[in-house]
Amino acid sequence: MRPPCELIVRYVLPAFRSLVARELVKKYDFSQSEVAKRLGTTQATISYYLYSKRGNKRIKQLESISLVRSAASELAQDIATNRLSSADSVSEVCRLCKALKGHDLIP
């Protein structure tokens, strides 16, 4: 038995991070390296996200939920405009996870 947060970190968070990364690159013209730095990951991971080489099924599932789309867009905007600290970004992701509880996103 795994706690819900562990499952979210494994299955949902990478897909959500992918949505935020795509927004930062496409809408705000961030480089992959800058996105990686802001999201606390590597440039190679961002490349996988952008070219749908990882987690594409889960990404499509998240994209179909309007709450997730708007949260990804808002978080990308907040990152691009430096409105959120790293701690605040984590809090926003936690808030989203709580809101998604009933969406059957984890196996």
What is the per-residue pLDDT across 80-105, written as a single tens digit (0 to 9) for each?
Answer: 999 987 678 878 888 887 777 766 66
Domain annotation covers residue 83: yes
Instruction: Flag whether pLDDT at 3 surpasses 70.
Output: yes
Domain annotation covers residue 26: yes
Q: What pLDDT sits at residue 80?
A: 93
Q: How many domains does the chain have?
A: 1
Cα 55 to Cα 86: distance, rounded to the nearest angstrom: 24
CA distance to 31, 37, 54, 97, 104, per residue, from 75 (Å): 17, 15, 21, 14, 22
Q: What pLDDT sits at residue 42?
A: 94
Full residue range of the structural domain in which residue 66 is found: 4-101
Amino acid at 36: A
Dihedral class, residue 82 (left if φ above 0, else alpha if ψ from -120 to 50, else beta)? left
Q: How would residue 54 be classed by pLDDT, with cut points 50, 70 and 90?
A: low
Cα 67 to Cα 57: distance, rounded to the nearest angstrom: 18
Domain annotation covers residue 60: yes
Q: What percent of the chain is predicted at pLDDT more than 90?
A: 34
Q: How would residue 19 be classed by pLDDT, with cut points 50, 70 and 90?
A: very high
Convert the pLDDT of each residue in 29-53 to its tens digit.
Answer: 999 999 999 888 899 999 988 887 7
Domain annotation covers residue 106: no
Domain annotation covers residue 107: no
Residue 41 DSSP code: S
